[in-house]
């Protein structure tokens, strides 16, 4: 996990496990702006806060992750 001040970043593989989706889906969500992402060299990192927000919206009956 990478920290950028108060922002925590995880690799796409970890984000996929947290959301219960494929890595391809995580890349799509980052591309669509549904998750916060950044590139660090050849690695894409996803903001943990955006993952938590997505998970909480699913529990409230929001959009599905898949």
pTM exceeding 0.75: yes
Q: Looking up tokens 């938590």, which residue turns up?
A: 52
- CA separation for the pair 58, 41 (Å, rounded): 31
CB 38 within 8 A of CB 44: yes
pLDDT in tens, the chain (66 residues): 656 567 799 999 999 999 999 999 999 999 999 999 999 999 999 999 999 999 998 877 765 544
Residues with Cβ within 8 Å of residue 2, at least 6 apart in sequence = 8, 9, 10, 40, 45
Q: What is the CATH number of domain 2-59?
A: 1.10.1660
Q: State the pLDDT at residue 57.
A: 87
């Amino acid at each position: 996990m990478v920290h950028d001040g108060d922002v925590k970043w995880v690799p796409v593989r970890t984000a996929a496990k947290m959301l219960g989706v494929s890595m391809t889906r995580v890349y799509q969500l980052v591309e669509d702006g549904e998750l916060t992402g950044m590139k660090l060299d050849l690695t894409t990192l996803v903001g943990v806060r955006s993952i938590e927000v997505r998970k909480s919206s699913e529990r409230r009956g929001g959009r599905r992750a898949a």
